[in-house]
């Protein structure tokens, strides 16, 4: 393998240390197990079409099982002179004979790499979607618990309106459920196999890409071989979806930071805050800052990947298949970490009802309701009422009082102290997706149904992948 006939020497060691690792230690966990899985399916298929013999196929299965049983450790210290795949093939050739390279008939590293990416993505994809499902369930649970917990709604860092804690939870969950949809919508791409696309031209051999696809748990074989090896848009779509999910997480974390902040509307338990090494009084909600940093990083990984692909030819490219693609792994780690941390915070936070009540009382959050009531009562048009109430608020602020209900001199409003109280407004804002418990419950019912549909789809995906593994094993067993 030093001399390929066309190229006399192996890669320069300085270059090799940059583009490959020195050996297969890392590849043994990231890549090689997928080569083995692919080779099992390939061997079954090649035997079926008569391109390899039954006995040889059996030898392949035995050696692959042996390797897997030992965690591919006998490969770990092999040098990767021409990359991981050829080192793996070299090993097979040395153990089960030169014919091992016949497994490469009708394929190439190009379609293998594109297929390995999808096989390797399955677990992190499930983890990511599963973590998001869990977060959504925590938020929905909190909403059910806090349907009646009156809580301020802020705009521009000021208390704006009375609302409820549940109302906020459903808002967060609603946005995040769109992120879950966006992750799940790419699943057909994850289920399209690339094996058989070869270098990018398919093959003249009578191979059965449908069969290898099915044995590997995919739903469809490659439809166009160039697209099959050239494209990694799956990675971009997952990164974009994760970046937007991260955008929502950063905003929700910011909202929590403001709640936990000086007004103390929400509290975090000791095991979720950090001490200061220097200041004895601090209880820092520092996990929320980690969430924001990790969520923002995903944007960078998306940019790294899409820039890495920019202006490359539409064919198999190292800049696309290797360099741009690598950013998906730290991105998924980052977004999972971010979701897990915020889920922990939500699971264990306490709502400071009294602080919330106090803030609502002192912030004129019923001002809009007053202007609205004055208008509906016919006393003033809305803009005039708005400005009138504005004057009252200014006057009250100057006098140091925190209510303007006393200013309300209308005989057309009965019991304004009750009807204009923040908690009453929060409980009766029914229209437009408002905070009234029945409105929040309706939204929540719909949302939970969506979430469970997503959960079912995710289970269905996992089941499909699991069943394929069993089918593959049965096919192998039938060789005995």
CA gap 440, 217 in Å, rounded: 41
- Given the complex with a copy of itself, which of 295 and 475 has the nearer CB atom? 295
CA gap 14, 254 in Å, rounded: 46
Q: Shortest gap between Cβ of 108 and a copy of itself (angstroms)? A: 4
Q: Shortest gap between Cβ of 478 and a copy of itself (angstroms)? A: 24
Q: Shortest gap between Cβ of 213 and a copy of itself (angstroms)? A: 10
Q: Rg of the chain over CA atoms, in angstroms?
A: 30
Q: Shortest gap between Cβ of 30 and a copy of itself (angstroms)? A: 17
Q: How many residues bind a copy of itself (CB under 8 A)?
A: 203
| 145 part of the interface to a copy of itself, by CB under 8 A | no
Among 124, 130, 141, 337, binds a copy of itself (CB under 8 A): 337
Q: Shortest gap between Cβ of 69 and a copy of itself (angstroms)? A: 26
Residues 10-69 that bind a copy of itself (CB under 8 A): 10-12, 14-15, 18-19, 51
| 314 part of the interface to a copy of itself, by CB under 8 A | yes
| 144 part of the interface to a copy of itself, by CB under 8 A | no
Q: Which stretch binds a copy of itself (CB under 8 A): 28-36, 58-66, 95-103, 133-141?
A: 95-103
Q: Provide DSSP, 324-373.
A: IGGGHHHHHHHHHHHHHHHHHHHHH-EE-HHHHHHHHHHTTTTHHHHHHH
Residues 101-140 that bind a copy of itself (CB under 8 A): 101-102, 104-111
| 189 part of the interface to a copy of itself, by CB under 8 A | yes
Helix axes 84-96, 32-48, angle to 10 degrees: 60
Q: Which stretch binds a copy of itself (CB under 8 A): 58-66, 79-87, 126-134, 471-479?
A: 79-87
Among 29, 73, 145, 394, binds a copy of itself (CB under 8 A): 394
- The answer to whether 192 and 167 have CB atoms below 8 angstroms apart is no
Residues 425-454 that bind a copy of itself (CB under 8 A): 425-426, 428-436, 439-440, 442-443, 446-447
The contact pattern for a copy of itself, residues 218-257, with x = CB under 8 A and - = no contact, is: ---xxxxxxxx-xx-x--xx--xx-xx--xx-xxxxxx-x
CA gap 56, 451 in Å, rounded: 48
- Given the complex with a copy of itself, which of 328 and 458 has the nearer CB atom? 328
Paired with 161 in beta bridges are 153
| 99 part of the interface to a copy of itself, by CB under 8 A | yes
| 95 part of the interface to a copy of itself, by CB under 8 A | no
Q: Which stretch binds a copy of itself (CB under 8 A): 59-67, 123-131, 278-286, 466-474?
A: 278-286
Look up tokens 């059965």; give the residue: 208
In terms of Cβ atoms closer than 10 Å to its own Cβ (0-12, 13-18, 19+), residue 313 is: exposed
Among 60, 363, 437, 461, binds a copy of itself (CB under 8 A): 363
Look up tokens 């919330």; give the residue: 356
Residues 166-185 that bind a copy of itself (CB under 8 A): 167-168, 170-172, 174-175, 178-179, 182, 185
CA gap 438, 429 in Å, rounded: 10
- Given the complex with a copy of itself, which of 28 and 440 has the nearer CB atom? 440
Cα torsion angle, 225, 230, 235, 238, sign: negative
Q: Shortest gap between Cβ of 151 and a copy of itself (angstroms)? A: 11
| 150 part of the interface to a copy of itself, by CB under 8 A | no
Paired with 83 in beta bridges are 81
Among 141, 267, 390, 464, binds a copy of itself (CB under 8 A): 390
Q: Shortest gap between Cβ of 190 and a copy of itself (angstroms)? A: 12
- Given the complex with a copy of itself, which of 33 and 83 has the nearer CB atom? 83
- Given the complex with a copy of itself, which of 158 and 474 has the nearer CB atom? 158
Q: Which of 155, 57, 154, 82 is nearest to 475 (CA)?
A: 57
Q: Shortest gap between Cβ of 17 and a copy of itself (angstroms)? A: 9
| 412 part of the interface to a copy of itself, by CB under 8 A | no
CA gap 173, 472 in Å, rounded: 39
> For residue 232, what are the contacts with CB-CB under 8 A and spacing of at least 6?
114, 117, 305, 309, 320, 321, 324, 325
CA gap 377, 412 in Å, rounded: 6
Q: Which of 136, 170, 155, 135 is nearest to 436 (CA)?
A: 170
In terms of Cβ atoms closer than 10 Å to its own Cβ (0-12, 13-18, 19+), residue 331 is: buried
- Given the complex with a copy of itself, which of 376 and 466 has the nearer CB atom? 376
Length of the chain: 480
Token pair for 298: 């995903």
**DSSP H or E stretch at residue 155:** strand 150-155
């Amino acid at each position: 393998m030093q001399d390929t006939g066309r190229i006399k020497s192996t890669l320069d060691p300085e270059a090799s240390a940059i583009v490959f690792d020195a050996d297969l230690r890392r590849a043994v966990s990231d890549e090689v197990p997928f080569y083995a899985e692919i080779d099992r399916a390939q061997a079954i298929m090649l035997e079926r079409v008569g391109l390899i013999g039954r006995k040889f196929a059996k030898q392949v299965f035995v050696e692959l099982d042996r390797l897997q049983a030992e965690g591919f450790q006998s490969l770990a210290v092999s040098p990767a002179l021409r990359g991981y795949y050829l080192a793996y093939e070299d090993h097979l050739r040395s153990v089960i004979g030169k014919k091992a390279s016949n497994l490469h008939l009708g394929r190439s590293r190009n379609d293998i790499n594109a297929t390995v990416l999808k096989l390797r993505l399955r677990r992190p994809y499930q983890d990511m979607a599963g973590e998001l499902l869990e977060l959504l369930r925590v938020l929905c649970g909190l909403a059910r618990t806090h349907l009646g917990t009156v809580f301020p709604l802020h705009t521009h860092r000021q208390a704006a309106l009375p609302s409820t804690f549940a109302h906020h939870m459903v808002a967060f969950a609603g946005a995040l459920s769109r992120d879950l949809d966006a992750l799940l919508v790419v699943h057909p791409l994850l289920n399209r196999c690339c094996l058989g696309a070869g270098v990018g031209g398919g093959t003249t051999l009578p191979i059965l890409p449908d069969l290898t696809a099915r044995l590997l748990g995919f739903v469809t074989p490659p439809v166009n071989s160039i697209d099959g090896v050239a494209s990694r848009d799956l990675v971009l779509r997952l990164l974009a979806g994760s970046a937007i999910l991260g955008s929502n997480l950063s905003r929700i974390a910011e909202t929590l930071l403001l709640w936990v902040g000086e007004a103390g509307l929400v509290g975090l338990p000791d095991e979720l805050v950090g001490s200061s090494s220097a200041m004895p009084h601090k209880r820092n909600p520092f996990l929320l800052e980690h969430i924001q940093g990790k969520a923002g990083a995903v944007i960078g990984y998306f940019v790294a990947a899409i820039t890495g692909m920019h202006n490359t030819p539409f064919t198999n490219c190292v800049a696309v298949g290797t360099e741009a693609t690598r950013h998906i792994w730290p991105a998924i780690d980052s977004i999972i970490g971010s979701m897990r941390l915020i889920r922990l915070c939500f699971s264990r936070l306490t709502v400071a009802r009294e602080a919330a009540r106090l803030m609502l009382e002192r912030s004129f959050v019923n001002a809009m309701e007053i202007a609205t009531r004055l208008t509906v009562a016919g006393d003033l048009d809305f803009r005039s009422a708005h400005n009138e109430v504005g004057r009252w608020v200014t006057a009250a602020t100057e006098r140091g009082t925190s209510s303007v209900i006393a200013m309300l001199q209308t005989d057309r409003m009965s019991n304004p102290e009750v009807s204009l109280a923040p908690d009453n407004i929060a409980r009766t804002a029914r229209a437009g997706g408002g905070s009234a418990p029945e409105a929040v419950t309706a939204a929540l019912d719909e949302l939970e149904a969506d979430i469970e549909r997503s959960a079912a789809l995710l289970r269905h995906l996992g089941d499909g992948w699991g069943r394929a593994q069993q089918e593959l094993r049965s096919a192998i067993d039938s060789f005995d």
